[in-house]
Amino acid sequence: MTVKEQFERIARRYPDRIALTFESESISYQVLNERANRVAHVLSSRGVGPDVVVGVYLDRGIDAIVSVLAVLKAGGVCLPLDPDYPAERLDLMLRDADAACLLTQADGESRLARCDVNPVVLDWTSAELADAAQTDPASTPSASDRAYILYTSGSSGSPKGVEIEQGALGDVALKTARLLKLSADDVLLQFASMSFVASIGQIYAPLVIGARLLLRGRRHSSASSLFTYIRDNGVTVLWLTPSVIKYMTQREEASIARLGSPLRLLRSGGETLTRSLVEHWFSQSSVPILNVYGPTEAVQDITASLITGPVSTVTMGSPIFDAEVLITDGAGNLASDDSGELLFTTPGMARGYLGQKALTEERFVWRETEHGHRRFYRTGDIVRRLPDGQLEYVGREDKQVKVLGNRIELGEVEERLTMHPAVLNAAVVVTPWLAEEHRLVAYYVAEPNQQQNNSDLLQWCLQALPAYMVPTTYVQMPELPRTANGKLDRSALHELAASGKS
C-alpha cells in the first residue's frame, strides 16, 4: 500500500485529530488532507503524474509537509530542496533530476529564477488554489513508480540522486511505525531537513498511524528553547543523531530531565553512538535508546539495538524485519573472520542512482544466498560481527565521512577546491575531535606564483556546497604529504589536524 493510500485512510479514520504542529499552529488530519488535495489537483492540471519530478522548495513548516504529500497524491516524484543550499547546487539538482515543476513561495521563485522549471507558487489566496478540489485525487501510483529523489554527496565531485519507489516508501512508513511502536497517542519530533533520508521516517511514520508530527522551528536553535518546545508539546518519541543528542544534553542550560515525562523513546542513528554518550544519557534518564543503522540507499533501518542502560560496547544491533546482511572481504568473498564490508538487502531498498548506471551496478550487486538470488547494496562500511550476532561499526573503506550526522564524500569537496583557479591540489580531512566539534580541514597547494586568501576559498566553497560540507579551516602547504608509492598520505594530514596544526 502506498503512502497516499495509507494517509488518506488515516485521515478518514481520525479527521479531527491533530496531525501537525509547527510552533503555535496546529492542523487536523482532515485539514492537512484537504490542503494536500488542493495542491495535488493543481499539480495534476500542470501535467504532474507518474515519473514527473516536482521540486519542493519551501521553508520548514506546515506548507512543506502539505507539499510533499501533494506530490505523492498527484502520483509525481518528490525532490526536496533545502532552502539553505546555495542556488548553484539547487540548480544542479533540478537539472539532473529533470524536474518539471517547482512548488515554492514567492521569494523562492525569484531566488531560483534561472532554473528552467514551471513554478507553482503556494499562495492560498490565489484563485488557482482557492478553487481547487479538496477531494482525494483518483491517481493510484504503482509500487514500482518513483516517489522520491534524495541527493547525497558524490565521490565523483557532484551530488548523486538516490531513487526511491512508491512501494519502498509505503513499506518504510509502516515498518518505522512498528519499530518505534507508534500509536495515535504518540507525538514525534520532526528534526531532520527534508532533503535527508531521516526525514522520510520522521514525516510519514506518524502520519500513516494517526500520531502527531511536531515540526522543529528555526527559532528553536538553542538546546534550552528546543527542550521547552519538546516538553510543552508532550513529545513521546525523539529522533536525533548522536551529535545533536550530545549538543542538546551537555549544555549547562539543558538537562535531560527537562525533556518531559511523556518521552518514552530516544531513536539514535546517522552516525556512531558512543559509549560515553550512552552513559551520560542514562545518568539522567531511564528512557531507552533505540540505536539504528540504515543509509540513504536503504530508505529504512537495516539493523537496530535497544539500549536500556550503560553498556560496554555500543553496537549497530542485528538485522530487523526482512533485512539480510553479508560481510565480505577485500575480494568480495564472505569474510572468514566475520570482519569486513557490510552488504545488505531489504524489500525497501532504493532503485539506484539517477542517471548513473555504472555506479548503480557497482554498488547494487547480485549475490546468491540461502534465500535465493538477491540484490544487495555494498555500503563501504567496515563492521565486525560479535559472538552474540550483533554488528559493531569499525570504519569506512573510502573517503566518506559523517559530520553532525551529514554524509560527506570528501572527493566532492576536494573537487570544488581544485576548481578554484589559484588551487593546484587539495585534500580534506575531518578532525577526530569530540562529536559536536567535528570539522573539515582543507590542505591545499597553490598554483605557482599565486597568493591565496583563505576567506576567498571559504566563499568559493559556499557558492556550490551546503554549509555542512564546507571546510572551516584552510591550510596552504608547499606540497601535500605522500606515501612511499606516491599516494596522498591522509594519515599524515589527520595527524596534523589532530595536533591542532591547522
Q: What is the C-alpha separation between 444 and 477, in angstroms, rounded?
A: 6
Query: Is 80 exceeded by the pLDDT of residue 247?
Result: no
Domain ranges, ordered by start, for the chain: 3-218, 400-499
pLDDT of residue 468: 87
Q: What is the C-alpha separation between 453 and 474, in angstroms, rounded?
A: 9
pLDDT of residue 434: 42
Length of the chain in terms of residues written: 502
Helical axes 3-13 vs 166-179, angle rounded to 10°:
50
Task: Let me know: does 46 contact 120? Beta carbons within 8 Å.
Answer: yes
The sheet carrying 160-165 orders its strands as: 118-121, 101-104, 53-57, 77-80, 146-152, 160-165, 352-353
Residue partners of 64: CB distance under 8 A and separation at least 6? 56, 58, 194
Query: Is 60 exceeded by the pLDDT of residue 252?
Result: no
The CATH H-level superfamily of 3-218 is ANL, N-terminal domain (3.40.50.12780)
Pick the closest to residue 365 from 353, 357, 374, 354 (CA basis): 374
Q: What is the C-alpha separation between 183 and 180, in angstroms, rounded?
A: 9
Q: What is the C-alpha separation between 394 and 432, in angstroms, rounded?
A: 15
Q: Is 419 helix (H, G, I), strand (E, B) or coil?
A: coil
In terms of pTM, does the model score above 0.95?
no
Per-residue pLDDT tens digits for 295-342: 999 888 999 999 999 999 999 999 998 899 999 988 888 888 888 999
Task: Let me know: does 431 contact 497? Beta carbons within 8 Å.
Answer: yes
Q: What is the C-alpha separation between 334 and 246, in angstroms, rounded?
A: 36
More confident site: 338 or 434: 338
Identify the band that residue 190 occupies on the pLDDT scale cut at 50, 70 and 90. Answer: very high
Highest mean pLDDT among 34-38, 194-198, 425-429: 34-38
- Rounded to the nearest 5 percent, the helix, strand and coil shares of the chain are 30, 25, 40
Identify the band that residue 399 occupies on the pLDDT scale cut at 50, 70 and 90. Answer: low
More confident site: 449 or 358: 358
Q: What is the C-alpha separation between 122 and 54, in angstroms, rounded?
A: 13
Per-residue pLDDT tens digits for 155-183: 666 789 999 999 999 999 999 999 999 99
Q: What is the C-alpha separation between 424 and 80, in angstroms, rounded?
A: 35
Main-chain dihedrals φ then ψ at residue 173, nearest 5 degrees:
-60, -45
State the average pLDDT for the chain.
88
Span 27-51, average pLDDT = 96
The CATH H-level superfamily of 400-499 is ANL, C-terminal domain (3.30.300.30)
Q: Which three cell numbers stand for residue 225?
A: 528553547
More confident site: 248 or 278: 278
pLDDT of residue 435: 42
Q: What is the C-alpha separation between 404 and 241, in angstroms, rounded?
A: 7
C-alpha angle with apex 7: 4 to 9, nearest 5 degrees?
105
Q: What is the C-alpha separation between 325 and 101, in angstroms, rounded?
A: 38
Query: Is 50 exceeded by the pLDDT of residue 418?
Result: yes
How many percent of the chain have pLDDT more than 90? 54
Per-residue pLDDT tens digits for 313-324: 999 999 998 899
Per-residue pLDDT tens digits for 216-243: 887 766 777 888 899 999 999 999 888 7
Per-residue pLDDT tens digits for 55-65: 999 999 999 99
Pick the closest to residue 158 from 487, 490, 480, 469 (CA basis): 469
C-alpha angle with apex 499: 440 to 250, nearest 5 degrees?
65
Query: Is 90 exceeded by the pLDDT of residue 41?
Result: yes
Q: Is 61 helix (H, G, I), strand (E, B) or coil?
A: coil
Identify the band that residue 113 occupies on the pLDDT scale cut at 50, 70 and 90. Answer: low
User: What is the chain's alpha carbon radius of gyration, rounded to the nearest angstrom?
Assistant: 23
pLDDT of residue 236: 97
Query: Is 70 exceeded by the pLDDT of residue 433?
Result: no
